[in-house]
Amino acid sequence: MKKLILSLLLLGACNCMQAQSVAPFQKGDRVTFVGNSITDGGHYHSYIWLYYMTHFPKMRLWMANCGVGGDTAKEILARFDDDVLSKEPTVMTFTFGMNDTGYYEYNGADSADFARRKLEEAKQQFALCEEKLKSLKGVRLVMIGTSPYDQTSTFNNDIFAHKNDNMQRVIALQKEAAKRNGWEFLDFNSPMVALNMKMQESDPNFTIIGSDRIHPDNDGHMAMAYLFLEAQGMKGKKVADIGLDAAKGKATKAENCRISKVKQTSDGLQFDCLAQSLPFPLDTLAHGWGFNHGAAEVTKSIPSFIDDLSDEHLTVEGLQVGQYELSIDGTIIDTLSNAVLSDGINLSNYRTTPQYQQALAVMALNETRWDVERRFREWAWVNYDFMMPAGHLNDNSEQGARKFRELSKDNSWLASKRGTYEQMVRPEVREVFKQEMDLLIDRIYDLNQPKKHTYLLRKL
């Protein structure tokens, strides 16, 4: 029975992805990702931008994290004008539902009644959001069904039974609203549940969601980026497709790249190539509070990830039988047989190539930008969830500081943000951090421009 359920889920996820379509971003787009803590402290939006930074280096975009931890649809609406519209977006994604559906009460005696009440509350609050979103001019809307609450992994017994079932009912409301209003719609939930259950067949303790069943780790956020980019039609777009015939000494294929100076050598082949994209780098380090996995671990649950989103293909036919040393700009990459080279390799699997190293530098700068932006999101959490209800929204005065100290006396989470508050309450500090992010983005779009490289195949 479990295998039947899994098969149905996988079939539904595949059908869902085939049906889902999100228009690609365009040059100059300003994209805001609106949500709760999964957006606030997560990376999926940053990974999406990193893909565009590397695959479309000449198409400059701007993106912003507009998540706040703990938010429901009601709280998103309360900060909407000040936090989201002030950024003048041309594209907006909108997700909610994790906090709207409740938590511990699903293990209570009246869990079914509780679920109905929370769904009705979410429906009422989202209806108000819908009216607000309908009033926007010149903004393209993408409704996102939230990543799931993991109610199937067995790594511990602390499970809120059927919580994700109710979250899927909230997602259905979003989907209906998107259809009514001509908005785009993308569901993270069902495909990620299917991925989870597929992996849990062999490892019941596996979760792509994270140790608290709520917040996806970096690999989970990279899976979310994969789903988003796939819906945008990015799956299968080549970083470059380089084809050569060594026997004839000429290029046979040059997709998204330019091949020049092809010449036969006494023991192999040499040529230059200028690709139009960089490989999509995968971070092996864990980033973010409470996260333990690097984004690269996404390949465990999506083995085709690199081939799907970062195919830098090299095929060389007509080589004599034997082993060949491949080097790029003098850096030895691998030793490969003529048969393997004839079949083709994906250079994105080699972190040592000059182009992958260039992409890693872009990734590091983007991660630094993410770190700076996190300060603004911590400030937003304090400003909108505590200071605004107390009548001190954007209050930079000493009265505001006194109110913060008063509110934090009985709230250890708020008290832990005092250092952030003392910094970010000052407009001068916020302006310097904004300039730092702008400088990082400028540097990224300088550094991400592809370079011409010299390839050498030498028979051993």
- Tokens representing residue 205 in the block: 């303790």
At 202 the pLDDT is: 96
Q: Do 305 and 182 share a structural domain?
A: no
* Region 272-292 average pLDDT: 95
Q: Do 250 and 225 share a structural domain?
A: no
The mean predicted confidence, pLDDT, of the chain is 95
Q: Do 362 and 349 share a structural domain?
A: no
Q: Can you tell me the distance from the alpha carbon of 1 to that of 22, in angstroms, rounded to the nearest whole number?
A: 34
Q: Tell me which of 13 and 82 has the higher pLDDT.
A: 82
Q: For residue 157, what pLDDT band results from cuts at 50, 70 and 90? A: confident
Q: Judge whether 10 lies within some domain.
A: no
CATH number at residue 173: 3.40.50.1110
Q: Can you tell me the distance from the alpha carbon of 35 to that of 205, in angstroms, rounded to the nearest whole number?
A: 28
CA 118 centroid distance within chain = 28
Q: Judge whether 17 lies within some domain.
A: no
- Per residue in 316-346, pLDDT (tens digit) is 999 999 999 999 999 999 999 999 999 999 9
Q: Judge whether 439 lies within some domain.
A: yes
Last residue of a domain, one of 216, 231, 246: 231
Q: Which domain holds residue 268?
A: 238-357+450-459
Q: Judge whether 377 lies within some domain.
A: yes
Q: Judge whether 4 lies within some domain.
A: no
Q: Do 378 and 408 share a structural domain?
A: yes
CA distances from 390 to 43, 380, 382, 406, 417 (A): 31, 14, 11, 11, 17
Q: Judge whether 251 lies within some domain.
A: yes
188 CB burial (10 A radius; 0-12, 13-18, 19+): buried
Q: Judge whether 64 lies within some domain.
A: yes
Q: Do 363 and 322 share a structural domain?
A: no
Q: Do 189 and 320 share a structural domain?
A: no
Q: For residue 1, what pLDDT band results from cuts at 50, 70 and 90? A: very low
Q: Do 204 and 101 share a structural domain?
A: yes
Q: Do 246 and 202 share a structural domain?
A: no
CB atoms within 10 A of CB 23: 12
Q: Do 308 and 225 share a structural domain?
A: no
Q: Do 276 and 256 share a structural domain?
A: yes
Q: Do 435 and 306 share a structural domain?
A: no
Listed range (54-58, 208-212, 252-256) with the worst mean pLDDT: 208-212
Q: Do 51 and 157 share a structural domain?
A: yes
Short-list 186, 193, 200, 94, CA closest to 148? 193
Q: Can you tell me the distance from the alpha carbon of 205 to that of 196, in angstroms, rounded to the nearest whole number?
A: 10
At 13 the pLDDT is: 44
Count of domains for the chain: 3
- Per residue in 197-227, pLDDT (tens digit) is 999 999 999 999 999 999 999 999 999 999 9
At 134 the pLDDT is: 97
Q: Can you tell me the distance from the alpha carbon of 206 to that of 204, in angstroms, rounded to the nearest whole number?
A: 6
At 20 the pLDDT is: 81
Last residue of a domain, one of 202, 231, 260: 231
Q: Judge whether 18 lies within some domain.
A: no
163 CB burial (10 A radius; 0-12, 13-18, 19+): buried
Last residue of a domain, one of 200, 231, 262: 231
